[in-house]
Amino acid sequence: MKLYSHAVSGNCYKIRLFLSFLNLDCEIINVDLLKGEANQPKFLQLNPLGELPVLDDNGFILRDSQAILIYLAKEYGNEQWLPQSTRDMAKVMVWLFTACNEIARGPNDARLHDKLQFDLDIDIARINSDRILKIMNDHLQDRDWLELGHPTIADIACFPYIALSHEGGVSLDLYPHVERWVVRMFRLPNSLPLPQ
């Protein structure tokens, strides 16, 4: 198994984190996004979008972090990570879509602006960040995990850019339930340090 990854990417980190949780051996192939390596013809054969991460599981090529989480959960995990029940699966999936929409356009965009100097509207990113953090904080008020009373791929999908929100000038100080959830994620067996 190979993972095409970038050390700073939160989307790549979530896959490395889940691989660690599953105790799966995987060769990490670093692709330097900032030097344009993802736009080279060889890489574009793997992912025509020129984006990371990309998983190669013995010739099965898959792009998109959310899709990779689902694949790994179904192929190598168990129902703890992605339940079979339609309703429970739907609850988990809501958070995967939240990760690639509200969290991506909030804390992720703020981090891209501040840390990597992307030309993004930082005011909109911080407004979006506060909105999703309030929703998550309210949701986590009476629970330890996003859904089902235990960690799932919902938590993994949302975790990186929430935990890295400070790199986009977004503080978690007003969101104590989110802060406690971040701490719980770090305490899981085989957790990994955040990307730098």
Q: How far apart are CA 30 and CA 36, in angstroms?
A: 12
**Residue type for 172, please?**
L
Please give the backbone phi and psi of residue 5, each rounded to the nearest 5 degrees, phi first: -145, 165
In the CATH scheme, what is the code of domain 2-76? 3.40.30.10
pLDDT over 90 (residue 63)? yes
Give span(s): CATH 1.20.1050.10, the chain.
Answer: 86-187
Collect all residues with Cβ–Cβ distance below 8 Å to 67 and sequence separation of at least 6: none
Give span(s): CATH 3.40.30.10, the chain.
Answer: 2-76
What pLDDT, in 10s, does the model give residues 17-58? 999 999 999 999 999 988 889 889 999 999 999 999 999 999
Which secondary-structure segment (H or E) carries 62?
A: strand 60-63
Asked if CATH classification 1.20.1050.10 holds for the domain at 86-187, the reply, yes or no, is: yes
pTM over 0.75: yes
List, as own/partner pairs, every contact residues 37-44 make where C-beta atoms lie below 8 angstroms and the sequence separation is at least 24, other chains included: 43/4
What pLDDT, in 10s, does the model give residues 121-177? 999 999 999 999 999 999 999 999 999 999 999 999 999 999 999 999 999 999 999
Beta bridge partners of 56: 2, 61
